[in-house]
Copies of this chain bind each other. A is one copy, B any other.
Amino acid sequence: MATLTPRSLRTRARILDAALDLFERQGYDATTVAQVAAAAGVTQMTFFRHFPTKDSVLVSDPYDPLLARAVAAQPRDLGPVERVRRGLLAALGTIEPVEDATAERRVRLVAAHPALRAAVAAATADTERAITDALVADGVPRLDAAVAAAACLGACTAALLAMPDLPDRPDPTDGGRHLGAVVTRALELLGESP
Per-position contact with B for A122-158: 1 when CB-CB < 8 Å, else 0? 1001001000000000000011101111111111011
Nearest Cβ distance between residue A103 and chain B, in whole angstroms? Answer: 18
Whether A189 sits at the interface, judged by CB under 8 Å, is yes
Copy count, this protein chain: 2
Nearest Cβ distance between residue A167 and chain B, in whole angstroms? Answer: 8
B189, A158: Cβ atoms under 8 Å?
A: no
Whether A78 sits at the interface, judged by CB under 8 Å, is yes
Q: Which residues of B contact A34 (CB under 8 A)?
A: none
Q: Which residues of B contact A186 (CB under 8 A)?
A: 143, 147
Specify which of B125, B157, B190 is in contact with A117 (CB 8 Å cutoff).
B125
Q: Which residues of B contact A161 (CB under 8 A)?
A: 146
Q: How large is the interface on A (under 10, 10 to 19, 20 to 34, 35 or more residues)?
A: 35 or more
Whether A107 sits at the interface, judged by CB under 8 Å, is no
Known contacts A81-B190, A144-B189, A165-B142: A158-B152 contact under CB 8 Å: no
A158, B146: Cβ atoms under 8 Å?
A: yes
Of A79, A115, A122, A147, which is in contact with the most chain B CB atoms at under 10 Å from its CB? A147
Whether A1 sits at the interface, judged by CB under 8 Å, is no
Q: Which residue of B lies closest to A183 (CB)?
A: B147
A148, B189: Cβ atoms under 8 Å?
A: yes
Whether A193 sits at the interface, judged by CB under 8 Å, is yes
Q: Which residues of B contact A115 (CB under 8 A)?
A: 122
Q: Which residues of B contact A62 (CB under 8 A)?
A: none
Whether A114 sits at the interface, judged by CB under 8 Å, is yes
Whether A119 sits at the interface, judged by CB under 8 Å, is yes
Specify which of B79, B119, B154 is in contact with A155 (CB 8 Å cutoff).
B154
Q: Which residue of B lies closest to A150 (CB)?
A: B158
Task: List residues of chain A with CB under 8 Å of any chain B CB.
Answer: 78-82, 85, 114-115, 117-122, 125, 128, 142-144, 146-155, 157-159, 161-162, 165-167, 182, 185-186, 189-194
